[in-house]
Structure 1
């Protein structure tokens, strides 16, 4: 009597995924989106002042039940907030809203949450004070230390801004490229470490300025003056041009904020 041989299972080719693994991957992506959304919603409530420093968040079980999410998703959202300094979790105490001085204010997510609604006037002023402390001196250093590659990157940023304008994302990305190249050109590692934060600040203030109406003033000439001073290796002119750029950007932002504040009253 012939014995029927069982078929031998062949392994999947490298990189291939089984239906189960694909389903697991989709579940992980959904989970990532979910706890990211929870973190964003809680983050907005914290930075807007709805949740006050020192207040305790709901416990994990109560919060997950209220939000209709898993405890794991809520726990991951709290970890995100803790990594950004917005909350602090302690055993037997719970999760408490941190004091603002502990917040990672230049974190791109935190900045996006601040500009989700109408940002606090003091926070806006403080943000531009920081830019005015950092960027003019960075421009002066860039005038002394820039390379041809830095100038080329800044020129690409200017070209992108002129082509797309700051009203669209492509133009804002070009603006970020300009400022990022300038910070790199400073040659200072600590200044360069601020690139993502400064870039996010510039992007979100630009979006805020144009949320209701297009920007009435063309900021391109301000950027060109900074570029020309750096290209000419003139640190004093670069410092002055960047200082003027930041001052005018602050004026644009406050002018955009006033009509909305009046309308809200």
Structure 2
């Protein structure tokens, strides 16, 4: 792996190491290049190299082993909800079924419950945000340009984030911020491979209507339908989801 400081700015070191891990050059259990070797090939100081290695340690991708160097951790140890890791996944990794399955399993466990709460507490302003997101998905659904696909995905993510916020629970609202990059990771891939985008859009509309009409049970099942559509588009056969038990007060 070439890490030439003359060609790359200092901050790219952690990016290049992450890319090497996510592309499969380094597998879990492998040791990456030694610290001094990286210093020599990159022209960076030992202090700088250690700082960038520490970033990978902080997000669970590598561990430092005294006397041996830095070893790549198992995927289960990575902090995949950390925005830095999620961004690296979207930039450098081929679609990773294990990570997709884990994220979707989590969402299947919580988002139907979130939709129920939103159906009880959504305000007019929340409903407007949800409706604007659905309208954005519809506007950009038919385009073939990359920019159109990006705008469609951004509207799709905004739809889910708006539902989290419509709960008016500070924890769910903050969680929507943490989950946004990982939701985007699934949305990008599923929207590009969805066999029938119009059906996907209709599932989102039904969820919006259930929330607007304050029907918590319908919202629960509509949210499940949206995520099961994502599962099919991604080609995942088993999400191992632990579904929330819903109750209507």
> What's the TM-score, normalizing by structure 1?
0.72
Shift of 1:147: 1.7
1:1-265 map, 5 Å: 34-89=9-64, 94-115=69-90, 116-165=92-141, 167-209=148-190, 216-218=196-198, 219-254=200-235
Contact conserved, 1:209 with 1:215, CA < 8 A, in 2? no
CA distance 1:36–1:240, change in 2 (3 Å): farther
Residue-pair matches, total: 224
List alignment gaps of at least 5 residues for structure 2: 237-249
List alignment gaps of at least 5 residues for structure 1: 1-29, 256-265
Once residues 114 and 194 of structure 2 are traced to their aligned partners in structure 1, the CA distance between those partners, rounded to angstroms, is: 29
Structure 1, 108-117 or 146-155: larger mean CA deviation = 108-117
CA distance 1:120–1:170, change in 2 (3 Å): closer
Contact conserved, 2:112 with 2:221, CA < 8 A, in 1? yes
Once residues 194 and 119 of structure 2 are traced to their aligned partners in structure 1, the CA distance between those partners, rounded to angstroms, is: 32
Cα deviation 1:141-163 (Å, max 9, x = unaligned): 11112122211111121122122
Q: Which has the higher contact order (CA 8 A, sep 6+)?
A: 2
CA distance 1:133–1:155, change in 2 (3 Å): same
Contact conserved, 1:139 with 1:182, CA < 8 A, in 2? yes
3-state SS of the aligned residue for 1:56? Answer: coil
Cα deviation 1:35-77 (Å, max 9, x = unaligned): 4433233223334554233443323221132345554543332
Once residues 92 and 188 of structure 1 are traced to their aligned partners in structure 2, the CA distance between those partners, rounded to angstroms, is: 48
For the pair shown, which has the larger CA radius of gyration, 1 or 2? Answer: 1
Contact conserved, 2:104 with 2:231, CA < 8 A, in 1? yes
Shift of 1:138: 0.7
> What's the TM-score, normalizing by structure 2?
0.76
Once residues 191 and 215 of structure 2 are traced to their aligned partners in structure 1, the CA distance between those partners, rounded to angstroms, is: 33
CA distance 1:75–1:51, change in 2 (3 Å): same
Cα deviation 1:162-207 (Å, max 9, x = unaligned): 2223852222222222111111112333333332343223322233
Shift of 1:226: 0.8
Contact conserved, 1:53 with 1:96, CA < 8 A, in 2? yes
Once residues 137 and 95 of structure 2 are traced to their aligned partners in structure 1, the CA distance between those partners, rounded to angstroms, is: 25
